[in-house]
Amino acid sequence: MNVLIIDDEELIRNVVKEYCLIENYKVFEASDGFEGLEILEKEIIDIIVLDIMMPNMDGYTFFSKMKEKYNIPTIILSARGEEYDKLFGFSIGIDDYVTKPFSPKELIARIKAILKRCNKEEKEKFIYLGIKVDFKGRVLYIDNQEVQITPKEFDLLKYFIDNPNTAITREQILNKIWGYDYFGDDRTIDTHIKILRNKLGKYRDKIVTVRSIGYKFVYDKE
Contact 97, 78 (CB under 8 A): yes
pLDDT at 111: 94
DSSP assigned state of 50: E
d(CA 199, CA 50): 35
CA 2 vs CA 14, 127, 163, 198, 220: distances in Å: 16, 16, 22, 31, 14
**DSSP single-letter state for residue 29:** E
What pLDDT was estimated at residue 10? 95
Catalogue all structural domains in the chain, each as residue range(s) with its CATH number.
2-122 (3.40.50.2300), 125-217 (1.10.10.10)
User: In sequence order, what are the residues at sequence separation of 6 or more whose Cβ sits closer than 8 angstroms to the Cβ of residue 163?
Assistant: 216, 217
Q: Side by side, which strands form the sheet with 168-169? A: 168-169, 214-217, 207-210
What is the DSSP secondary-structure string of 23-68? TT-EEEEESSHHHHHHHHHHS--SEEEE-SS-SSS-HHHHHHHHHT
Question: How far is 176 from 214, CA to CA, in rounded Å?
Answer: 14
Residue 186: the pLDDT is 61
Q: What does the pLDDT read at residue 181? A: 53
pTM value is 0.58
Which residues are bridge partners to 96 per DSSP? 75
Which amino acid belongs to residue 174? L
Judge contact between 113 and 134, C-beta under 8 A.
Answer: no
Residue 210: phi, psi to the nearest 5? Answer: -105, 110
Q: Give the other-Cβ count within 10 Å of 164's Cβ.
A: 15
Per-residue pLDDT of the chain (222 residues; tens, 9 = 90+): 899 999 999 999 999 999 999 999 999 999 999 999 999 988 888 899 999 999 999 999 999 999 888 888 999 999 888 888 889 989 988 999 999 999 999 999 999 999 888 776 666 788 888 899 988 888 999 998 999 999 889 999 999 998 899 999 888 888 888 775 555 566 778 889 999 999 999 999 999 999 988 999 998 764
Task: Report the C-alpha gap between 19 and 17 in whole angstroms.
Answer: 5
- DSSP letter at 183 equals -
Whether the link from the prior residue into 164 is cis, omega within 30° of 0, is: no
Residue 176, pLDDT score = 82
96-99 and 74-78: which strand pairing? parallel
